[in-house]
Amino acid sequence: MGLTLTWLSVIILIPLAGLFLRTLELSPEQFWAILSSRRTLNALRVSFGLAFAAACVNLVMGSIIVWALVRYRFPGRRIFDAIVDVPFALPTAVAGVALTALFAEKGWLGAPLAALGIKVAFTPVGIFVAMIFIGIPFVVRTVQPVLQDLDPEIEEAAGSLGASRWQTIIRVILPSLAPALLTGLALAFARAVGEYGSVIFIAGNLPNVSEIAPLLIVIRLSEFRYADATAIAVVMLVVSFVVIFAVNRLQRWAQSRIPAR
Q: Name which position in 175, 194, 197, 204 contacts other proteins (CB under 8 A).
A: 175
Q: How far is the CB of 201 from other proteins (least distance, A)?
A: 43
> Can residue 204 be called a binding residue for other proteins (CB under 8 A)?
no
Interacting stretch for other proteins, rule CB under 8 A, among 20-28, 108-116, 137-145, 157-165?
157-165
Q: What is the Cα–Cα distance from 15 to 139, expressed in whole angstroms?
A: 28
Q: Phi/psi zone of residue 117: left (φ > 0), alpha (ψ -120 to 50 degrees), beta?
A: left
CA atoms within 13 A on the CB side of 243: 22
In sequence order, which residues have a C-beta less than 8 Å from that of residue 62 and are 6 or more positions away?
136, 138, 139, 140, 143, 184, 188
Q: Name which position in 156, 207, 208, 246 contacts other proteins (CB under 8 A).
A: 156
Size of the site for other proteins (CB under 8 A): 23
Cβ(192)–Cβ(53) under 8 Å? no
> Can residue 167 be called a binding residue for other proteins (CB under 8 A)?
yes
**C-alpha distances in Å from residue 135, one per residue of 98, 192, 231, 256:** 16, 6, 26, 27
Q: Name which position in 76, 151, 222, 224 contacts other proteins (CB under 8 A).
A: 151
> Can residue 163 be called a binding residue for other proteins (CB under 8 A)?
yes
Q: What character string, x for contact with other proteins (CB under 8 A) and - otherwise, covers 102-141?
A: ----------------------------------------
> Can residue 176 be called a binding residue for other proteins (CB under 8 A)?
yes
Cβ(127)–Cβ(202) under 8 Å? yes
Residues that bind other proteins in the complex, under the rule CB under 8 A: 151, 153-154, 156-164, 167, 171-172, 175-176, 178, 257-261
